Amino acid sequence: MKEKILKIAQQAKAASRKLSNLSTKIKNDSLLAMAEMLENRGDFLMDANYKDVEGAREKRLSPAMIDRLTLNENRIKDMAKGLREIAALPDPVGEVVRMWRRPNGLQIGKIRTPLGVIGIIYESRPNVTADAASLCIKSGNAVILRGGSEAIYSNIAIAKLLSEAGRAKGLPENSVQLIDITDREAVLDMLKLDAYIDLVIPRGGHSLIRTVVENSTIPVIKHDKGLCHVYIDSEADLEMGKRIAFNAKVQRPSVCNAMETLLVHKDAAEEFLPGMIKKFKESKVEIRGCQKTKAIASDINNAAEEDWDTEYLDLILSIKVVDSIDEAIEHITRYGSMLSEAIVTRDYNNAWRFLREVDTASVFVNASTRFTDGGQFGLGAEMGISTQKLHCRGPMGLEELTSTKYIIFGDGQVRE
pLDDT tens across 193-247, in order?
999 999 999 987 788 889 999 999 999 998 778 899 999 999 999 999 999 999 9
Coil, strand or helix: which one is 184? Answer: helix
What is d(CA 159, CA 129) in angstroms, rounded to the nearest whole number?
A: 7
- pLDDT of 254 reads 84
- pLDDT of 124 reads 77
- Residue 240, judged by CB atoms within 10 A of its CB (0-12, 13-18, 19+), counts as middle
Q: Give the CA distances from residue 284 to residues 88, 228, 272, 315, in Å, rounded to whole numbers and listed in that order.
A: 40, 20, 19, 7
* Right CATH for 2-221+396-409 from 3.30.750.24, 3.40.605.10, 3.30.300.30, 3.20.20.70: 3.40.605.10
- pLDDT of 224 reads 74
Scored b (16 or more CB within 10 A) or e, 138-168 reads: bbbbbbbbbbbebbbbbbbbbbbbbbebbbe
Averaged pLDDT for residues 36-64: 94
- pLDDT of 416 reads 87
- pLDDT of 174 reads 97
What is d(CA 70, CA 261) in angstroms, rounded to the nearest whole number?
A: 26
Domain with CATH 3.40.605.10 in the chain: 2-221+396-409
Where is pLDDT greater, at 177 or 64? 177
* Residue 34's pLDDT band (cuts 50, 70, 90): very high
At 146-189, the pLDDT tens digits run: 999 999 999 999 999 999 999 999 999 999 999 999 898 999 99
Pairing of strands 385-386, 394-395: antiparallel
pLDDT over 90 at 63, yes or no:
no
- pLDDT of 137 reads 97
Where is pLDDT greater, at 263 or 66? 263
Averaged pLDDT for residues 381-387: 82
Domain with CATH 3.40.309.10 in the chain: 228-371
CATH class of domain segment(s) 228-371: alpha beta
Averaged pLDDT for residues 310-319: 95
Quick check: 185 and 1 in contact, CB under 8 A? yes
pTM of the model: 0.84
